[in-house]
Amino acid sequence: MKRNNDWKLTLTSTPMILIYVMAVFCIIAAIRQPAFLSPATLVNLCRAGIFTMCFAICEMVVIISGGIDVSFPAIGCVAMYVPMYMYNNGMGVDNVFFFFGVAMLAGLIFGVLNGFLVSYLKLPPLIATLATSSVASGGLIMLLGTREFTTLPPSLEALYSINLLTFVDPNTGFNYPLTILILVPIILCLVMAYVMRYTMLGRGLYAIGGDSNAARIAGFNVRKLQFIAYIFCGVMASATAMIYTTLMHSSTTTALMGEEMIIIAACVVGGCRLTGGHGGVGGTVLGVLLITLVENNLNMLGIPTSWQTFAVGLVLLLGAVLSSVQAKRISKMGKI
């Protein structure tokens, strides 16, 4: 009975299938377009994946805890807009910590609101965060208008120009700089991987996502854990939004709106179950990689970029089918 057919399970598990799909994608891309193998691709991929990765980790924590947060793009917009607005209206100082501080404070406020709605008022998380999303986004436009800030304050501009390394393409002479901000998702992933696996906080999030009643009986503070999940999501998403502004040189009230679906999809493709309790950093990273790869490198396969949404849709479909098939397989596998 002990661990006999586990290797078979491992080879056909969701993460492995994602790796196969990515490998096939890369091989085809490399055959059609040898330039794909250039380090430039990797640098571009990393740059493109920074926000997706950070947002996905935020969302993953909430999904694992048994909830869902569709408000983080709206919260992020508030977080990126308010500090820029303050700066451009003569309030606040030109300091990286000020910008990120204000952003994360905004995230904290909305995170607390989400946590309160879900854990104290027991609203369904989807409804609660939808409401928060509208309140945040609508309130922002109502109070502060809809300007677009495209010039960064000097301190953020300085942050923007710090690069870890710069790859110079020997053929074209183009520069491909890799921003230091790539460290944020990397560190975030490492820290969260540790937290989710090796701390009682992380295990508690899995526990309440698996069965919140059982968690309560076992002595977990379910409310506190839910609060932590939504606050983490709000604060971290806000910091990510500030990174977005820094890298994109843009801050608007709607820049991130609509991101939630692709992020939730990346989590689900990576093995998070919307019912909670399942998933992890490893799978989520793979989900994000796959989606980023497809989003940014379709032209390498010779597919027109106008097909991008369609192709991403196909990837999501793959993820959804995969997770449902896997769940069915496990439930059919026979009880032991």
Partner 1 sequence: MSEEVFLKLEGVKKSFGGVHALRGVDLEIRKGEIHCLAGENGCGKSTLIKAISGVHNPDEGSIWIDGEKVENMKPMDAINRGIQVIYQDFAVFPNLTVAENIALNGELKNKTKFVNWKQIHEVAEKAMAQVGADIDPDVKLERLSVANKQMVAICRAIINDAKLLILDEPTTALTAREVDKLWDIIRSLKAKGIAIMIVNHKLDEIYRIADRLTILRNGTYISSGDISEYDQERFTRDMTGKDITEEKYMPEPGSEEVLRVEHLSRKGAFENVSFSLHKGDVLGITGLLGSGRGEIGEALFGLSPADSGKIVLNGKEISIKSVSDAMANEIGYVPEDRLTQGLFMQRSIQDNTIAASIRQYMKHGRLDKKGMEDTTNYWIKELGIKAPSPKPAVRTLSGGNAQKVVIAKWLNTHPKLFILDGPTVGVDVGAKAEIHSILHDLAKKGIGIIIISDDLPELVQNCNKILVMKEGKVSGMMDNSIDERTLGNMLVGSSDRGGEKA
> Which residues sit at the interface with partner 1, rule CB under 8 A?
1-3, 197-203, 206-207, 209-211, 213-215, 217-220, 276-278, 330-331, 333, 335-336
Min CB(317)–partner 1 separation in Å: 25
Rounded to a whole number of angstroms, the minimum distance from the CB of residue 236 to partner 1 is 21
Q: How far is the CB of 3 from partner 1 (least distance, A)?
A: 6
Q: With respect to partner 1, which residue has the nearer C-beta, 20 or 194?
A: 194
Cβ neighbour number for residue 163 with a 10 Å cutoff: 16
Minimum distance, C-beta of residue 332 to partner 1, in the bound complex (Å): 11
Answer for the pair 162, 180: CB distance below 8 angstroms, yes or no.
yes
Tell me, what DSSP letter sits at residue 117? I
Residues 6+ apart with CB under 8 A from 227: 112, 115, 116, 119
Closest separation in Å from C-beta 335 to partner 1: 4
Nearer to partner 1, 214 or 314 (CB): 214
Of 147 and 197, the one with the shorter C-beta distance to partner 1 is 197
In this complex, which beta carbon is closest to partner 1, that of residue 215 or of residue 237?
A: 215
Q: Which is nearer to partner 1, 27 or 333 (CB)?
A: 333
Report the half-sphere exposure of 307 (CA within 13 A, side-chain side): 12
Segment holding 73, helix H or strand E? helix 72-88
Distance CA 240, CA 246 (A): 10
Q: Return the half-sphere exposure (C-beta side, CA atoms, 13 A cut-off) of residue 217.
A: 4
Residue holding tokens 């990393």?
A: 46
- The residue written with tokens 């526990």 in the block is 207
